[in-house]
Amino acid sequence: MKKQLAKLKVQLNILWGKILYQSQLLPHRPRLIWHKLWLRKNEFHPSLSYDISAVEHMDAADKEQYTQDLIKRRNAAHEKDLNA
């Protein structure tokens, strides 16, 4: 019984940690999604800037994913800017 309670406590702590993590990112999610909606014509558009306020609440995996996506969007905007 004690092992089951300890296991449940660990699972609840993990779940609570995930809830807190998502709640910290919640204010930033709409802005991050909005920036992905269309390809910018200018590589210097503010939506292609590194968003420190959102990144400070991300874990390592989300930071890596965000950075890779930002690089891809910047490169696409750069190509579009060159072709214009």
| pLDDT tens track for 9-56 | 778 777 776 776 666 666 777 777 777 777 777 778 888 888 888 888
Where along the chain do its domains lie? 2-83
Q: What is the pLDDT of residue 20?
A: 66
* CB-CB contact of 35 with 47 (8 Å): yes
Q: At a CB cut-off of 8 Å and minimum separation 6, what does 62 contact?
A: 25
* CB-CB contact of 2 with 36 (8 Å): no
Structure confidence at residue 68 as a pLDDT band (50, 70, 90): very high
pTM: 0.65
Structure confidence at residue 67 as a pLDDT band (50, 70, 90): very high
**Higher-confidence residue: 1 or 77?**
77
The Cα–Cα gap between 82 and 15 comes to 47
End-to-end CA distance of the chain: 68
